[in-house]
Amino acid sequence: MSRAPVLLVGFAVTNRAVCAQLVERGHLVVPVDDAPDDHARLYAEELGVGLLEQPDPDDWPALAADARAIVPTPGLPESHPCLGAAADAGTPVISEFDLAQQWDARPTLAVTGTNGKTTVTLLAAAMLEASGIPVSVAGNTETPLVEAIRADRPEAFVVEASSFRLGHSQCYRPTVGAWLNFAPDHLDVHESLTSYRAAKAALWNRADEHTTSVVNRDDPVVVAHAPDEGRVVTFGLDDGDFRVSEGALWAWSEKLADTFELHRSQPHELSNHLAAAAVAMAGGAHAQGVRAALLSWTGLPHRVALVAEHDGVRFFDDSKATTPHAACAAVRSVGRAVLIAGGRNKGLDLGPMAEVADQLRSVVAIGEAAEEVQRAFAGRCPVTIAGSMEEAVRTAAEGARSGDAVLLSPGCASFDWYGSYAERGDHFSLLVRELIGGSP
């Protein structure tokens, strides 16, 4: 075994799990972090590895040249000097997916896409479990794949596969790989939209006769990257192996469920249902298990979730929508609305949000990107800037009429005012309930 170290660049949840596995297997590991906290230091100490803190950019050529491989933390900017140094030195940059596949031969069912990954991952897992197939959910979740493989119970893993992991994967080949959709995102991490697209497309780079690729027929970018090798299964609202027809969801010629039976049946949700069914059935789920999971699925928090209805106005929390693409889908699903949008922009053009301006009564702009939101809708619909979520909720409610929706669908990240999109959505929901409770 080589005694050259594996460098772990960034020492948060995923790379701590990677470190533990490498140490157990007798590998030399050097974790590196530009801004470590006390938890990182304590974890490194417990594993008996030395944590290298805040290396100078000029140190990276030597560090990379001496390393056997580099594992970047998910979300490490592509501009980080370790990546350029690795390329110059010819040192492989790999992902936790690569390592997990080397260490465990059980099937993985991977789901990527700009929007809907978590929903499809969890729903597909529920379909498989309802079909009697024990699975574990991993990847871009609380449990990295390298951690999930420790458990003996799962027969397979349903993996939420972010571009951050896929883009650095060198040998990862999922048994089933689903690409849901593509829209600009994460340009604060990826150097360009081309780089982001290539990272997503890496899901299918190693497709072969042993793999199934699940392709969204409704997304031209996804269709353009569909692999020539292996089995290909398609889904789409109007056309595909999995589709909506005659008011029902179908898998080829088999009806899975009527849409009126579902708790959530907005267009983007139906697309997610179809994708999950395609993934699950490619992984061995049967139609009865898929149907059972569909009928019990009530959706996830902060995703066009109805908070309350008062005086004919519905209030929706869609705080998870951190891209213009997701915000537009939410507006289309709720109809006439007052939109609360803004936050911390992830390097994206917010202009596409104006595509739904004709469905908006007005917009309330919030956070660091408030002025960008205002410019995006200039001349298309009225925009008010609010200095707090309290002001935003109050202003939106005052501007809504009976039959409208007040929709928090920010199109931006939450990290200007909040620690997470969940915290933002929870605060919005609390304020809505307080407002309604205080109304005569």
Sheet of 337-342: strands edge to edge? 305-310, 313-317, 405-408, 337-342, 360-366, 383-385
Q: Is 255 a catalytic residue?
A: no
Per annotation, catalytic residue among 15, 27, 115, 117: 117
Q: What angle separates helix 13-24 from helix 38-47, to the nearest 10 degrees?
A: 10
Q: How far apart are CA 373 and CA 251, in angstroms?
A: 40
Two structure tokens written together for 288: 């009865």
Q: Which of 227, 119, 97 is nearest to 164 (CA)?
A: 97
Q: Is 186 a catalytic residue?
A: yes
Per annotation, catalytic residue among 186, 200, 268, 320: 186
313-317/305-310 β-pairing: antiparallel
What is the largest distance, in Å, between two alpha-carbon atoms of the chain? 73
Q: What is the dihedral of CA 190, 192, 193, 198, to 10 degrees?
A: -70
Per annotation, catalytic residue among 140, 181, 216, 272: 140
Tell how far CA 320 is from the center of its chain.
9
Two structure tokens written together for 383: 């925009």
Tell me how many degrees the CA angle 342-347-349 measures, rounded to the nearest 5: 70
Q: Is 320 a catalytic residue?
A: no
Q: Residue 437 burial (CB < 10 Å; 0-12/13-18/19+)?
A: exposed
Q: How far apart are CA 3 and CA 250, in angstroms?
A: 54
One-letter amino acid at 166 equals L
Tell how far CA 62 is from the center of its chain.
35
Active site residues: 117, 140, 186
